[in-house]
Structure 1
């Protein structure tokens, strides 16, 4: 296997039947998803910690459940990169370089705006997962594609719950 500047050190060079170009492409796609998972996790926890108002408990519990699910995906994504012989994220700085989702550092965000922002972020993550799935399919990496199928379903479920939580009484959108 030819080594590039992103090559895995010999001590960590996991054997795989995927060619080096496939490992590079799949690893890059999964690492971007991993960075976005960490960014979405932290934003979801931020909103969980700072939500207020009459639906506080419902939103607080919803965001706690969602953040736990998002964090749960990170180990599987990172380990998949390593299983195929790639390098994965090593620091907060590395996450910041790769993430595509915007952070939210506002002092106050109204609860409905929090949920809508998270809904849009989850939609972006689902779309990115579909693109990464195509990369995995092209590389004939069925295991990574299979993991992404589960994560796409979980992301769509989070999106749905966030959408429903932001609807006005009577069924109209917020």
Structure 2
């Protein structure tokens, strides 16, 4: 048996086939046909709305991580842990939203640069803000997402897509409402050391 020269790949071997190129197999904003009992237009609309919620949720996750790293002051420890917990919950929502879009035959927004084009959540400054400003920024992002998610859920439900409606209400809205409650309570003006 003759061996291949050192610079020639071995066929059928364990050498990775590197530097592959090719075109998109499915462009963003298109659907592939899946036998799930929903009309094309219903699935297309649901994917569009879900992708906007997904983009905003990815930005909210990033805001939580930023503020988790940069929070300061007397409540540092509790907020540091809370913001990280909320970030993990938002990351879980990112995954279920993306998987729902894929299950409808769509393409989930994934690249951070594309996410930035779709989001309605304002960009924060690059530096550190005061803690109440950070929390207010998170609350504003939540309100934007909750408003959009409720509207999307109602309109998607009217078109017969109860799966997407359930995801938006049971997961996005309920998680967001609970997180808003926890954040807002940190903005109550209560003295920390005296009564």
Between structures 1 and 2, the one with greater helix share: 1
* Cα RMSD (Å): 1.7
Partners of 2:34 and 2:40 in 1: CA distance: 12
Partners of 1:149 and 1:94 in 2: CA distance: 25
Structure 1 gaps of 5+ residues are none
Partners of 1:147 and 1:90 in 2: CA distance: 19
CA offsets 1:8-61 (integer angstroms, 9 cap, x no match) = 4xxx54333211111111000000000001000001100110011111001101
* 1:55 and 2:78 matched: no
* 1:111 and 2:134 matched: no
Partners of 2:46 and 2:114 in 1: CA distance: 17
Partners of 1:6 and 1:112 in 2: CA distance: 38
Match of 2:174 among 132, 140, 153: 153
Contact 1:25 1:135 in 2 (8 A): no
Structure 1: which 4+ aligned runs deviate by more than 3 Å? none
Match of 2:150 among 99, 106, 130: 130
Which of structures 1 and 2 has the bigger CA Rg? 2
Structure 2 gaps of 5+ residues are 1-26
Contact 1:15 1:84 in 2 (8 A): no
Q: Normalized against structure 1, the TM-score is what?
A: 0.88
Partner of 1:42: 62
* 1:18 and 2:41 matched: no
* 1:167 and 2:195 matched: no
Partner of 2:85: 65
Q: Normalized against structure 2, the TM-score is what?
A: 0.79
1:105: how far off?
Answer: 2.7
Partner of 2:23: none
Partners of 1:145 and 1:85 in 2: CA distance: 17
Partner of 2:49: 29
Contact 1:37 1:74 in 2 (8 A): yes
Bigger relative contact order, structure 1 or 2 (CA pairs below 8 A, ≥6 apart): 1
